[in-house]
Chain A
Amino acid sequence: MTPRVTFAVAARVLAQLRRDHRTVAMLIVLPALLVSLMWWMFTDSPMVFDRVGGPLLAVFPSIIMFVVTSVATLRERSSGTLSRLFTMPMGKLDFLLGYALAFALIAVVQALAVVSIALYLLDLDIQGAAWQLGVVAVLDGVLGTALGLFASAFAATEFQAVQMMPAVMIPQILLCGLLVPRDQLPTVLHAISDVLPLSYAVDAVLGVAKGNGFTTATGGDTLVVLGFILAALGLGAATLKRRTA
């Protein structure tokens, strides 16, 4: 791993995003818009919004980041730029970390937008500190990025990559505690949800919303999310092949 190369990749990805206003708008505005839509749907029952609002701050950013990043390495494969980079002193991890770093910066802006709108415009009621909610929302965006990069290293074509969204993300959305609290799931499904990253992302948000700080179990959930991020990037780097048929 070479920091020079990692930062070069991150700076390049950001330079490309700067030209792509539609993608940036989707990444930053869409989660806030979707949360607002949910607020509107439950305008007559604010209790429901207070219950699902928090988990949505975890779910929307991670899904949207997943979709955008899952085609990222495929685009470089089909354009030949990945081949060129592989003949240069670029580690596979440099490549993925560069992308992760660039999208982590986007995730910070995204979290700022969605958390401030949820708390100050839509009056989402939480006990914990706003900054903690922000930290968890950023990590959840980065989680979506890391899972997307892993999926994109795994898929052979962009066509396969877009199919990863329903396959990888929808089961996690169903089981993460958004629709049914995880402890009310049937035993087998509860056990499955225990190994899915988004479950911990939602647990962390729910913990912060309840007023549990990072020194409690919520801190543990946050660390598990971080662990999943690192594991997804490591596995993605291991899956990416320099030599292809």
Chain B
Amino acid sequence: MMKNAVSCRDVVVVRGDREVLHGVDFDLRAGSVTGLLGPSGCGKTTLIRAIVGLQARVTGDVSVLGLPAGAPKLRGRIGYVTQEPSVYGDLTVTENLRFFAAVLGVPSSDVERVVEAVDLTSHADARVDQLSGGQRSRASLAAALLGSPELLVLDEPTVGLDPVLRRDLWNLFHELADAGSTLLVSSHVMDEASRCDRLLLMRDGELLADDTPQDLLLSAGTSDIEQAFLTLIDRKAGAR
């Protein structure tokens, strides 16, 4: 089994005439849950889009499951959840999932499994545009779970969910990782950090830290991630 599910080396992304990622390096260990944390606008979504192969003007090396990002052979092996729920509002949850299952070539029996996994069974036959925001994003997450992809890239999947559901979803993420999937989960909520095996802290298109939550707190000498984040920013400014 390969050691790293994702490897980024000196990844630079230009959008318009602005460089938004300035040479990002990191590895995602296979079978781990990694949090990509940072304020809104720091480049999390751009980095995620580079990994799933949808971002234009990427230089440097992005390798995913041993292949260059965006390689046709990767299609269907990555589950991707965009920030806005990417499901069809005028179809029911089940209709949406049956469609994506057909595109993936996954048996439609898988639909029931993923609906259960995100706890939407009671709303399986409801139209997506009649669901709450949280239910809609869970429908979108369910679509990414179809076919049990090796890599799951989730862009802020827990925004707006109640604490119980958030806990359940994080438990689900760890179950998936235990079963062998690799997860990259972005969030701008720092208190989700403790739920990750590893953390990538990002600010202004650069990685400030790539560490386990425990070691991060230890090296920053603080007791919470938000404080550690500030300490790292200050240290960086001091070093300049």
Contact = CB atoms under 8 A, between A and B. Distances in A.
A4 B102 contact: yes
Interface in A1-54: 4-5, 7-9, 11-12, 15-16, 19-20
Given A80-B86, A242-B70, A243-B70, A87 B78 contact: yes
Contact of B53 (A12, A16, A19, A243): A243
A89 interface: yes
Interface stretch (B54-62, B160-168, B218-226): B54-62
A161 B240 CA distance: 48
B3 interface: no
A130 interface: no
Interface stretch (B87-95, B118-126, B174-182, B194-202): B87-95
Contact of B75 (A4, A15, A87, A244): A87
A93 B54 CA distance: 17
B82 A80 contact: yes
B70 A84 contact: no
Nearest to B155: A80
A89 B99 contact: no
A168 interface: no
Contact of A243 (B55, B86, B100): B55
Given A85-B103, A243-B53, A15 B95 contact: yes
A241 interface: yes
A81 interface: yes
Nearest to A244: B56
A4 B72 CA distance: 17
B173 interface: no
Nearest to A98: B103
Given A12-B95, A12-B99, A245-B55, 19 more contacts: A7-B102, A11-B102, A15-B91, A15-B95, A16-B88, A19-B127, A81-B86, A81-B88, A83-B54, A84-B80, A86-B53, A87-B75, A89-B72, A241-B56, A243-B56, A244-B54, A244-B55, A245-B15, A245-B16
B54 A87 contact: yes
A4 to B, nearest CB: 6
A190 B90 CA distance: 45
B107 interface: no
B186 to A, nearest CB: 15
A79 interface: yes
A188 interface: no
B90 A19 contact: yes
A90 interface: yes
A243 B62 CA distance: 14
Contacts of B53: 86-87, 242-243
Contacts of B52: 83, 87
B84 interface: yes
B68 interface: no
Nearest to A81: B86
Contact of B103 (A8, A241, A242, A243): A8
B105 interface: yes
A103 to B, nearest CB: 16
B76 interface: yes
Contacts of A242: 53-54, 70
Nearest to A75: B88
A20 B90 contact: yes
B105 A86 contact: no
A180 interface: no
A79 B103 CA distance: 18
A80 B105 CA distance: 21
Contacts of A8: 99, 102-103
A167 interface: no
